[in-house]
Amino acid sequence: MKFSVLDLAPVPEGETTAKAISNTVDLARHAESWGYHRFWLAEHHAMPGIASAATAVLIGHVADATRSIRVGAGGIMLPNHAPLTIAEQFGTLAEMHPNRIDLGLGRAPGGDLAVARALRRNMQGEDSFPRDVVELMDYLGTERAGANVRAIPGEGTHVPVWILGSSLFGAQLAAKLGLPYAFASHFAPAALDDAIAIYRSGFQPSAQNAKPRFMLAMNVFAADTDEEGAYLRTSMQQAFANLRLGRPGKLPRPVEDISGIVPRHFLSAVNEALRISATGSKETVRRQIGELVKRYRPDEVIVTGQIHDHSARCRSFEIAAEVLSDLPKAEAA
């Protein structure tokens, strides 16, 4: 089973955007050495704690700094962009880094209504996402010599396209188009079971994929002890609560008592949203990841973790890699 990294280029309290980007590059280099298959970055806008808004630019920067790990978008929020623009961007990346670039596509705006207006895309209210996905794939496909519009660079690169989602819509679309599917279970797990069932049962083989390929996203907060893992997790709990309360900011420092920061009634909702997580020591994380993999049977796991201290964040991903690489051996024993 392949395992990968989802990184948002988090900007911790007390740090700059430049430092956050430097940390992302450092994590990608380490992830490559630890055996991770992909390193994905996600498009978010107007969020002080996330530095991956110009996603294609950052993907190129990370790919330049690494050698073999696949680098891509998890994802590009396609309603924000013309399909031709994304085809040209990712076609260019694919020409610079052959057979290393992935393109995950999401339907959410990656920001609020004001951001959508500023991006000047799809303000007519029509949901053109399925049509835009097909148009984009056509641009990246075989040579279209007679076409009125061509993506150059882009044409003929066949950049692998994934559908991302947190609802049943993405599962249905990925199944219909015969595309691999990644579910955002790391922050929106409510529809996870139904989405997997719909995707697997409805999958229609395509030229790109003969069978369904499902990626499970999970948070990991791994450390030397269970207590330290729980402490590291409080940064993500605070950030998630702040976002839901309409006060996004930089990634907060961890705290000893999260119930003193996030109201108890609201904390339960935060924890439910983050329930597809593994938190604690290596042995605890091994057990929790093993239970999730056994239940959902993913073809690939993508790990994320909003951790304030960069060294602790790297250590968490290192522990996760050790656990995930050992998992097939443990299942076979």
DSSP letter string, 126-184: ---HHHHHHHHHHHHSS--TT-SS--TTTTT----EEEEESSHHHHHHHHHHT--EEE-
Residue-wise pLDDT tens digits, 98-150: 999 999 999 876 566 777 777 766 556 567 899 999 999 999 999 888 899 99
Q: Which domain holds residue 55?
A: 1-159
Query: Would you state the structure tokens that stand for residue 47, as one six-digit string?
Result: 């969020």
pLDDT for residue 127: 76
333: pLDDT strictly greater than 50: no
Give yes or no: residues 244 and 150 share one domain: no
Give yes or no: residues 147 and 246 share one domain: no
* Average per-residue pLDDT for the chain: 94
Give yes or no: residues 146 and 237 share one domain: no
pLDDT for residue 329: 62
Residue-wise pLDDT tens digits, 237-256: 999 999 888 888 999 999 99
pLDDT for residue 112: 67
Instruction: Indicate the number of domains in the chain.
Output: 2
Residue with tokens 């839901």: 244
Query: Would you state the structure tokens that stand for residue 122, as one six-digit string?
Result: 């799809």
pTM of the model: 0.94
Decide if 93 is inside a domain. Answer: yes
pLDDT for residue 330: 55
- pLDDT band for position 332 (50/70/90)? very low
Q: Of the candidates 133, 159, 185, which is a domain's last residue?
A: 159
Residue-wise pLDDT tens digits, 4-58: 999 999 999 999 999 999 999 999 999 999 999 999 999 999 899 999 999 999 9
